[in-house]
Amino acid sequence: MKNKVLLFLLLIGLVACEDKVDISSTLKAGKPALVVDAFITNLPEKQTVYLSSTQYYFDNSGPIRISGASVKVVDETTQQEYVFAESGPGLYVSPVRGDSMLIIGHPYRLFIDYQGQAYTAYSLMKRVPPIDSILFEPLEDLNENIIPGKYFAEFQATDQVGTGDQVWIRNYKNGVRITDAERIGISYDGKIFATAEADGSMFIYPLRVFPVNDNGGEEDDQWLDGQQFGVELFSITEEAATFLQAVVTQSTQGNGGPIGALFSPPPANVPTNIVNTTSQDKAAVGFFCTSAVSRAETIVPNPYGRNQ
C-alpha cells in the first residue's frame, strides 16, 4: 500500500513540473565570438580564410559572415607577408597560389585584426606522403556472391621515415568532398594512435579503408561503376589532429541512439589555437593550419590498381 501511495505522489510531482520554461532569452546572453576557418594548403590555387561569428543556441539562420577584418599570413623563416583580400562577406583570399606561398618545414603565423581586437595563431608546415595506389574490391552478399557494379575502395600510402607525421584523410565522390564527421580519418605515423613503434610503414588497414567507404549499407553510398573516386592526404600538426578528433567527438554524439547518447561524453567546446592578444574578454574559436597535400583520383573501378 505504501508503495502505491509513493507512486501516486511521484506522478503528481511529475505533472506539477510540466510548466514550460523559456530559456532562449538566457542563451542569447552569451557574447558572440570570432570564428576562424583557416586551413590553407600548398595546392596550386589561391587560398581562403573564412571568418564568421558565433550565434546563440536557437538561431538557425546560418553563419554570420564577418566583413571589414584585416587578414595576413607571415612566413616566419623569410618574413614574407601575404595579405588576404576580402572577396566577399567572410571570405579572405590570398594574393598568390598556395604552392607559391607555403614551404614544407617553414613556420607560419596568422594575424587577424577585427574591431580593435588582434588575433594570432601559429602553424608549422609539415610534409605529406604520396598516395601509392587506389584499389577496388567487388562487394559480396551474405552468400559471398559478387554484387555486380558495387565496390569497396582502398587507397595505399606509406608513412615517411621519422616520427611525428599526422595526416588528415579526406574523400571525394564525383568531385564533391564527403564532409561527414564520422568519415574524418587521422593517421599518426601510419597508425590510428601515436605510438613509439609507429614509423615508416604502410598505413594500417583501417586507415586505408574506413575514411573512404560508407559503413551504413545504403546502396546509394556504395562505390558504383563509373563514379569518380578521390582521396587527399593533408599534413597537419599534432594540435590540428586534436582539434579534428574533438570535432568528430562532438559531431557524432548520440549516434548510437538513446543508449549511445546516455554514455556519450558531455558536450564541450573544441580546442582552438586562435589567441586574442588584445583582450581576454573576446576569445575566438576555430583553427589555423598549413598543410601539404597529396591527391589522387580515378574512375570506379580502377582496372590498373594504381594512381592515375
Residue-wise pLDDT tens digits, 43-86: 999 999 999 998 665 566 667 899 999 999 999 999 999 999 99
Give the pLDDT of residue 196. 66
pLDDT class of 195 with cuts at 50, 70, 90: confident
Total domains in the chain come to 2
Give the pLDDT of residue 41. 98
Tell me, yes or no, whether 137 lies in a domain.
yes
Domain interval for residue 135: 131-238+293-299
Give the pLDDT of residue 307. 46
Is the bond leading into 301 cis (omega within 30 degrees of zero)? yes
pLDDT exceeds cutoff 50 at 112 = yes
Question: Is residue 211 located within the same domain as residue 287?
Answer: no
Q: CB under 8 Å, gap of 24 or more: what pairs does 135-140 form?
A: 135/302, 135/305, 136/223, 136/229, 136/300, 136/301, 136/302, 139/222
Question: Is residue 121 located within the same domain as residue 260?
Answer: yes
pLDDT exceeds cutoff 60 at 137 = yes
Tell me, yes or no, whether 8 lies in a domain.
no
Tell me, yes or no, whether 304 lies in a domain.
no
Tell me, yes or no, whether 23 lies in a domain.
no
Question: Is residue 55 located within the same domain as residue 136?
Answer: no
How many whole angstroms from its chain centre is CA 91? 19
pLDDT exceeds cutoff 80 at 163 = yes
Question: Is residue 219 located within the same domain as residue 168?
Answer: yes
CB neighbourhood size of 282 (10 A): 16
Tell me, yes or no, whether 10 lies in a domain.
no
Tell me, yes or no, whether 6 lies in a domain.
no
This prediction has a pTM of 0.81
pLDDT exceeds cutoff 60 at 101 = yes
Helix (H, G, I), strand (E, B) or coil at 47: strand
pLDDT class of 222 with cuts at 50, 70, 90: confident
Q: Where are the beta strands (DSSP E) in 42-157?
A: 46-53, 64-65, 70-75, 81-88, 91-97, 107-114, 117-124, 131-140, 146-157
Of 21-35, 57-71, 87-101, 175-189, the range with the lowest mean pLDDT is: 21-35
Share above pLDDT 90 across residues of the chain, in percent, rounded to a whole number:
64
Question: Is residue 104 located within the same domain as residue 172?
Answer: no
Question: Is residue 77 located within the same domain as residue 140?
Answer: no
How many whole angstroms from its chain centre is CA 128? 17
Tell me, yes or no, whether 230 lies in a domain.
yes
